Amino acid sequence: MLLVILMCLGCALLSGEAMAASPGTVRFYQNSGVREFVVLRRKAAKNTNITLPKAPLNSYYTFIGWTTRANSSKVVYKAGQRIRIRGNLKLYCVAKRTKVDNVFFCKADGKKWSSAVWKKGLLFPEADCGGGTTVIGWSESPNQTSGIKYAMQTKVPKPGTYYMVTVPADRSKVSRSSLAVSSRYSHVYLVGDSRSYFMIGQFGGNPDKATIIAKAGQGYSWLTSKNGGYEKLLAALKKNSKTAAGRNPAVVISLGVNDLSDAARYAAWVKSAEKTLKKKYNCTVYFTTVGPMNGLMYKHFSGSSARSSSKVYAYNAAIKKRLKGSTVKVIDIYGMLRQTAWSSMLRRKNQADGLHYSASTSLKIYNYIISCLDK
């Protein structure tokens, strides 16, 4: 019995020694506490001392010390200081940014326009250099008039100098003979907003074998309302149904710039309308993305900041996603103009408004639509 008691007592003593020597884990984090410096993690026996390291920071930051609370700037411990470990411990880095990388945004000719400190998530700004010139994006080379490498309000990839891609004021006229005519469809119906409406004047009327149904400043509500765009389309289709134009028409819906938050409603509507149009009038239905714009130029022209490049991107992405896999075909006007170039219509006092297109750009858009129809 005595032996058993002694053995149990010995076990208890050993257990107490093990508990006294059980290690605590010291973890070192960035100041926010989101990311741990795993290479610095230490285990130390209780009531032993460790020497605190420096945080492994990049050359942009100077290490100051360690704190015991996330997002605190109060230094509690310095690197090289010895502290006693009494259990698990979390320490947070306190550092100061001492070096920055700059991004310089320049006009096409190299003159400085603005600058910013580079950081992840920095966006290329919308820009305006006046004089009827259209700013359509950014490049790493000066004096570019096409071939946009970076669209406005997309992420700046790295520090450096970037130049506006600009298109001079465009006052050119359109010859009707340069308008494409579909070889696949008997007639083309383009339903749109002011961008389409202005085509009628720029083209000197409706193109051959085509009808433009459009109203300035309009969008989904006009399209679906009584006596609105869809009803006008149905009336035109019915009128032409007994003629050669009614054999196999194409319908192109080109709306959205006036209601960029309505992608879901547009997609749902056009998928439903397409069934009716196909059944009643043998139509093939297309839907276009919204073409690019310059929100800052439009703000300077109209005073409105309701539209922006980033909202156009979001709308187009949503339209493509919602129409993917459907029988409604998407014509990517935005992508075509991004790869080539575009210029804005000159309005009052020859000021480019950043939203509507010059005659030559309207021609490019219309002919691109026809080329997509005829594929």
Predicted pLDDT at 126: 98
Strands 284-288 and 329-331: parallel
What tokens appear for 281 in the block? 């009038």
Asked whether 66 and 76 are in contact (CB, 8 A), the reply is yes
Judged against a pLDDT cut of 70, whether residue 267 lies above it is answered with yes
Predicted pLDDT at 22: 59
Query: Can you list the positions of beta strands (E) in the chain?
Result: 23-29, 42-45, 48-51, 61-67, 82-85, 89-97, 102-106, 112-117, 134-139, 160-167, 188-192, 210-214, 250-254, 284-288, 329-331, 344-346, 352-357
Q: Which residues pair with 253 in a beta bridge?
A: 191, 287
Predicted pLDDT at 133: 96
Start-to-end Cα distance in the chain = 98
Judged against a pLDDT cut of 90, whether residue 15 lies above it is answered with no
Judged against a pLDDT cut of 80, whether residue 2 lies above it is answered with no
Helices and strands in the chain: count of H runs, count of E runs:
9, 17
Question: Rounded CA gap, 27 and 39, in Å?
Answer: 9
For the ranges 84-93, 253-262, 347-356, the lowest mean pLDDT is seen at 347-356
Residues contacting 261, CB < 8 A, separation 6+: 311, 315
Percent of the chain with pLDDT over 90: 88
Judged against a pLDDT cut of 90, whether residue 206 lies above it is answered with yes
Binned at pLDDT 50, 70 and 90, residue 13 comes out as: very low
Predicted pLDDT at 6: 28
Q: Which residues pair with 112 in a beta bridge?
A: 106
Asked whether 203 and 179 are in contact (CB, 8 A), the reply is yes
Predicted pLDDT at 234: 98
Question: Rounded CA gap, 332 and 365, in Å?
Answer: 10
Predicted pLDDT at 348: 84
**Which one, of 306, 297, 299, 271, lies nearest residue 285 by Cα?**
271
Predicted pLDDT at 9: 29
Average pLDDT, the chain: 92
Question: Rounded CA gap, 318 and 267, in Å?
Answer: 9
Predicted pLDDT at 59: 86
Judged against a pLDDT cut of 80, whether residue 20 lies above it is answered with no
What tokens appear for 242 in the block? 């007994």
274 CB-side CA count, 13 A: 19
Question: Rounded CA gap, 251 and 232, in Å?
Answer: 12
Asked whether 42 and 91 are in contact (CB, 8 A), the reply is no
Judged against a pLDDT cut of 70, whether residue 47 lies above it is answered with yes
Residue 26: exposure state from Cβ atoms within 10 A (0-12, 13-18, ≥19): buried
323 CB-side CA count, 13 A: 27
